[in-house]
Amino acid sequence: MTQALSQLAVVGVIGAGAMGAGIAQVAAQGGHPVKLLDNRPGAAAQAIAGIRAQFEKMAAKGKLSPELASAAGARLQAVDQVSELADAALVVEAIVENLQVKQTLFKELEAVVSGGCILASNTSSISITAIGAALASPQRLAGLHFFNPAPLMALVEVVSGLATAPEVAGTLYDTALAWGKTPVHAKSTPGFIVNRVARPYYAEALRVLTEGGADCATLDACCREAGGFRMGPFELMDMIGHDVNFAVTSSVWRAFFNDPRFLPSLIQQDLVDAGFLGKKSGRGFYSYEEGASKPPPATVPALARPHAIVLYGQSAAARAIALRLQANGVAFTQAQAKGDTLATAGDATLRVTDGRTATRCAFDTQTPNTVLIDLALDYSKATRLAVSVAARCDDAAANSAIGLLQAADFAVSQLQDIPGLIVMRTVAMLANEAADAVNQGVCDAAAVDTAMRLGVNYPCGPLAWANSLGLAQLSTVLGHLAQTYGEDRYRTSPLIQHHVFAAKDFS
């Protein structure tokens, strides 16, 4: 059993940049005396002035009592020398992202602090095992990975290197909890949890863009309005900055010895080469120059309501569409489940994508007039759906299928006939990566879902999403993607395969 550090314990924070200042704020608010150190003269004092102003603002808004705000502010002290951290029980490092510089600092610290002092790094990409290798007592070092901005983001990844003592990770976990954070345990593997499992959110969208599936605005709108993601992948990459995002993608890819799962995209390379770094440079996928506005998503104009609508079975999509049609006074009939047919409208047959293209699905099922719809987080709430139309589907049938969805109040974006549309393949690959992280002992299933909900604001943990989709369906989607591309990138996690055969899920 471990417990949180006492509030009397001095916390040292090294690096008074965006992250260090945020961590110092969290620790001071958590009741600890905090010593902040930066090698840029004046930087620590300036950061402390900023934190105190934050506390005052919080008091003015009633989020913190004036007494607590001034007490927390008074607990912060700027220091100039590592030797002044001798009485710390915990030192969190948030300096430049460089292994040698971090190792040198930790060695210097180790010579100064007591034997029981815990050392932690806020690194987002450097191996905790590698940092620890320079220490006489690597067991006292762990990762304590906050997200930006640290005072607002609840998630903290507590990262154990090969030598980290379980009690050290336990104490950090309990301390983060006492600070009001939601910690998760992770093993020190490339990208830890969030920066690894989030890769497909960008990678699949970049793939679809490379293959001409649709433009950025349309794909972003589908991810938001059907997928329930707060931001689409392209607008998010523009916000993160392509230099940063490409560097993370490349470093995770290299760290996994060039595993094609993590292969970066040439589009990212091009944007970085061009200096189109996103919002901060005025141009990325979108323009941020003065007066520029985002292009609207491609939306099929209103079509006539089709006749002879039949909905098959009781899938989530069929039930939601039935309710939406009813709400709009549109006539339809319901029939027993018929294979994976979702609906028919006029001469069209609609199915939810299973990772095949519409054209292949039409060929395999001998149904030329096939239209596929994308996955939605919740078909009863989605405002937009992507569709793809088989090559030999006639126009009248395609219009009937799209007209049905419009009659159920979906805005419809027709994508080129890429496999797995956009939301389904993205969610399938997120869940695949999450499953592999669990299978490889990086973290447990609950941790990965918590990390993705809180670290990157996903509307649902990828494994909970996999459960609700059904692992058999997920595995079918991944299998079809792997067949289409013939790439190891789309290999199905052994844990998903196991769970399908064992009739289990991730709950």
Residues 329-348, one symbol each (x = binds ligand NAI by CB under 6 A, - = not), give: --------------------
Judged by CB under 6 A, the stretch of 121-129, 191-199, 330-338, 438-446 that binds ligand NAI is 121-129
Residues 6+ apart with CB under 8 A from 111: none
Identify whether the C-beta of residue 399 lies closer than 8 Å to the C-beta of residue 369.
no
Residue 432 is a catalytic residue = no
CB of 105 to ligand NAI, least distance (A): 5
Identify whether the C-beta of residue 144 lies closer than 8 Å to the C-beta of residue 120.
yes
CB of 503 to ligand NAI, least distance (A): 39
Residues 11-40, one symbol each (x = binds ligand NAI by CB under 6 A, - = not), give: ---xxxxxxx----------------xxxx
Q: Which of the following is catalytic: 121, 122, 124, 251?
A: 124
CB of 23 to ligand NAI, least distance (A): 9
CB of 194 to ligand NAI, least distance (A): 10
Closer CB to ligand NAI, 123 or 218, in the complex: 123
Residue 225 is a catalytic residue = no
Residue 274 interacts with ligand NAI (CB under 6 A): yes or no: no
Residue 145 is a catalytic residue = yes
First CA to last CA across the chain, in angstroms?
26
Closer CB to ligand NAI, 83 or 148, in the complex: 148
Token digits for 204? 């699949």
Residue 480 is a catalytic residue = no
Coil/strand/helix, residue 3: coil
Identify whether the C-beta of residue 434 lies closer than 8 Å to the C-beta of residue 235.
no
Cα-based distances in Å from 28 to 75, 103, 116, 179, 386: 6, 26, 21, 9, 48
CB of 319 to ligand NAI, least distance (A): 41
Among 124, 399, 413, 426, binds ligand NAI (CB under 6 A): 124
Residues in the interface with ligand NAI (CB under 6 A) total 24
Residue 478 interacts with ligand NAI (CB under 6 A): yes or no: no
Residues 66-105, one symbol each (x = binds ligand NAI by CB under 6 A, - = not), give: ----------------------------xxxx---x---x
CB of 460 to ligand NAI, least distance (A): 23
Element of type H or E holding 77:
strand 76-79
Q: Which of the following is catalytic: 122, 160, 195, 369?
A: 195
Identify whether the C-beta of residue 142 lies closer than 8 Å to the C-beta of residue 158.
yes
Which position's Cβ is nearest ligand NAI? 17
Region at 241 (left for phi over 0; alpha for psi -120 to 50; beta for the rest): left
Cα-based distances in Å from 281 to 110, 297, 305, 456: 41, 23, 45, 23
Judged by CB under 6 A, the stretch of 69-77, 145-153, 293-301, 350-358 that binds ligand NAI is 145-153
Residue with tokens 């005025």, as numbered in its chain:
282
Cα radius of gyration (the chain): 26
Closer CB to ligand NAI, 195 or 218, in the complex: 195
Question: Is the sign of the CA dihedral 210, 212, 215, 220 positive or negative?
Answer: negative
Residue 123 interacts with ligand NAI (CB under 6 A): yes or no: yes
Closer CB to ligand NAI, 82 or 398, in the complex: 82
Identify whether the C-beta of residue 481 lies closer than 8 Å to the C-beta of residue 499.
no
Residues 39-68, one symbol each (x = binds ligand NAI by CB under 6 A, - = not), give: xx--x-------------------------
Residues 266-289 as b/e (b if ≥16 CB within 10 A, e otherwise) read ebbeebbeeebbbeebebbbbeee
Coil/strand/helix, residue 175: helix
Q: How far apart are CA 282 and CA 289, in angstroms?
A: 5
CB of 247 to ligand NAI, least distance (A): 10
CB of 379 to ligand NAI, least distance (A): 35
Identify whether the C-beta of residue 229 lies closer than 8 Å to the C-beta of residue 453.
no
Residue 239 interacts with ligand NAI (CB under 6 A): yes or no: no
> Would you tell me which residues interact with ligand NAI (CB under 6 A)?
14-20, 37-40, 43, 94-97, 101, 105, 122-124, 146-148
Query: Active-site residues: which are they?
Result: 124, 145, 157, 195
